[in-house]
Chain A
Amino acid sequence: MTTDDDFIGRLEDYLESFDGETPLPGRVRDAVDAELPSTRQVRPRPGLLRSLTMSSTTSTIARWGVLAACLVVAVALGSAILLPGRGGGPGAAGGSPSPSLTSSPTPVSSPHVLGVVPQIPCDATQPSGSTCIPPGTYLVGPIVPGGLIDIPSGWFDWEPGAGSVALLVDRHDAVDGSGWGVMFMQVGAVQRDPCNQAAGTYPAAEVDTPQKLAAAMGGWPGFKGSAPESIVVGGNAGVRIRVTSTKDLSTCPTPTIWQTPAGLAIDGYPMVNGGATRLDSGYPADFSLIEIDGQVVAIRAMASAHTSPNELGQGIADDPKRHEADLVALQGIIQSLRFASPGS
């Protein structure tokens, strides 16, 4: 029988001596140095962006908006490191100030991962304007392991925090960001009531499949969920549910629908919209809930062509057709989700 001290001592000796000295290999350092020029640094503005990369209850409305503002930097990094086959560099990517459905994604041999993508100007005529990612095929990243999606021009990526990554459409008149797009999210602790944190969270076993999660979401007080529809996304079975809410920030000031396993609070945007939208039933979002490697992944997509709540908040007029073309593009992005074959 070993004593606790003896056992812990042996364990710590083992860990200390494991593999001997393992200094950081020079090739790793070289690889990091090589990637720095194409790796965009997050530069939060004082106050407004403080919570951008941290777990918080900050409104996603604000975060989606400030992210775009953060991207309004004079960075034209992409020209030398653009994905192959685009022919024309930044000009080809930003030829149209609004998102184009005509640009076909370009297959790449080694896709970039969303969140670490070289940026190009969204509008080639305004190189100091907001930046987008080049159209092409991208890995969604660890949230959707091995998942590949095709993205047209006029979109930019955003990582709200651990366990989520988003794609938003660029609009030059929405200087604080369109707040319109799709977010891929891991699902951790799910709130019983997004507007009342004191109500607690569901036990994991009650929300560990797409079907159970959809049922839980359909029961959120003040929210309305459609009947779940069976779907297959990237070969993974799941359900889709459309969620709306008539709550606004006066009745639901800090909406949180769930946390990612890493602790990032996912809030109620765009459903809880502060009363800005003119849609009587609230701004709808489609949640595609799929199971990947035993984990439920949620894909939250804007489900209305209306001017987004975030844009309305910037004084942009309500237009029921503002994102009509974007809706088609967004469906194309989601439907393009597929998985890299093992070893590829």
Chain B
Amino acid sequence: MHGDKVAFDALIERHGDHLHSVARRILRDPYLAEDATQRALLDTWRYLPTLRDPDRFEAWAHRLLVRACLAEARNERRHRSSVPLLTIDDPVVMDSAARIATRQQLDLAFRRLGIEHRTVVVLIHYVGMSAIEAAAAMGTPVGTVRSRLHYALKYLRAAIEADARLEQEVGTA
């Protein structure tokens, strides 16, 4: 038990910041991210004795974290039905008067992605996973991951391109 605790402390020291950063990006809510990270770390503790290959720790921890994030998001969605999610097919809303900067536009679009789509984007373009690794972390088929990534990027790209068009129009006016 003591040895496990020492090892666990070392794992938190090494991976805690990163896991929390990933949760922040997936959930985009500091409180939910803290809850999800806490849940994932406790799951890590619970199941640590079942981890046979220490080299797989990082992928395994990401899987627990994604589960925790999705669970937190589900709970949040249940209690806050007004949260706008899964708006992949909606047109990008532009604030033409304010000429929103690209980063802000991306931020807005990213916020409007559903949790599963955001998770795929974060795992692949922030954590650096392959589609196969992301599929393992999310417990979904690779095809689903690729499909979600495709639509998420399409949506985000449309947001940036709309912003660029707006800038061009203003510049030539």
Contact = CB atoms under 8 A, between A and B. Distances in A.
Interface stretch (A15-23, A93-101, A218-226): A15-23
Contacts of B102: 10
A36 B45 contact: yes
A342 interface: yes
Nearest to A1: B161
Contacts of B146: none
A163 B16 CA distance: 25
B78 A293 contact: yes
A35 B35 CA distance: 13
Contacts of B17: 22-24
Nearest to A342: B79
A157 to B, nearest CB: 12
Interface stretch (A42-50, A283-291, A326-334): A42-50
B125 A15 contact: yes
Among B33, B38, B125, max chain A CB count under 10 A is at B38
A14 B41 CA distance: 26
Interface residues on B, range: 35 or more
A39 B45 contact: yes
Contacts of B33: 22
A146 B122 contact: no
B42 interface: yes
B139 A42 contact: no
Contact of B24 (A10, A22, A35, A146): A22
Interface residues on A, range: 35 or more
A52 interface: yes
A28 B110 contact: no
Nearest to B19: A24
A162 interface: yes
Interface in B95-120: 102-103, 106-107, 110
Contacts of A279: none
Given A43-B49, A162-B67, A7 B24 contact: no
Contacts of A39: 42, 45-46
Interface in A70-97: none
A116 interface: yes
B110 A14 contact: yes
B147 interface: no
A29 B20 CA distance: 11
A315 interface: no
Contacts, number: 126
Contacts of B41: 28, 32
Given A27-B34, A36-B5, A41-B4, A15 B161 contact: no
A44 B50 contact: yes
B74 interface: yes
A11 interface: yes
Among B33, B153, B157, max chain A CB count under 10 A is at B157
Among B50, B79, B110, max chain A CB count under 10 A is at B50
B85 interface: no
B151 to A, nearest CB: 14
B140 A261 contact: yes
Nearest to B165: A1
A32 B121 CA distance: 28
Interface string B65-89: 0010011001101110000000000
Contacts of A14: 103, 106-107, 110
B45 A15 contact: no
Nearest to A35: B42
Contact of B12 (A12, A32, A42, A142): A32
A24 B17 CA distance: 5
A142 B4 CA distance: 27
A40 B43 CA distance: 10
A16 B103 CA distance: 12
Contacts of B8: 36
Contacts of B103: 10, 14
Interface string A313-344: 00000000000000000000000000000110
Nearest to B35: A28
Contact of A12 (B77, B126, B140): B126
A53 interface: yes
B59 interface: no
Given A10-B160, A262-B67, A263-B139, A146 B121 contact: no
Interface of A: 1-2, 7-8, 10-12, 14-16, 18-19, 22-25, 27-29, 31-32, 35-36, 39-44, 49-50, 52-54, 116, 141-142, 145-146, 162-163, 261-263, 293, 342-343
Given A293-B78, A343-B79, 14 more contacts: A10-B102, A18-B25, A22-B33, A27-B34, A29-B16, A32-B12, A36-B42, A40-B46, A41-B4, A50-B50, A50-B52, A146-B75, A162-B139, A263-B139
Across the A-B interface, give the 3 residue pairs with the lowest CB-CB distance, nearest first. A262-B139, A24-B16, A142-B71
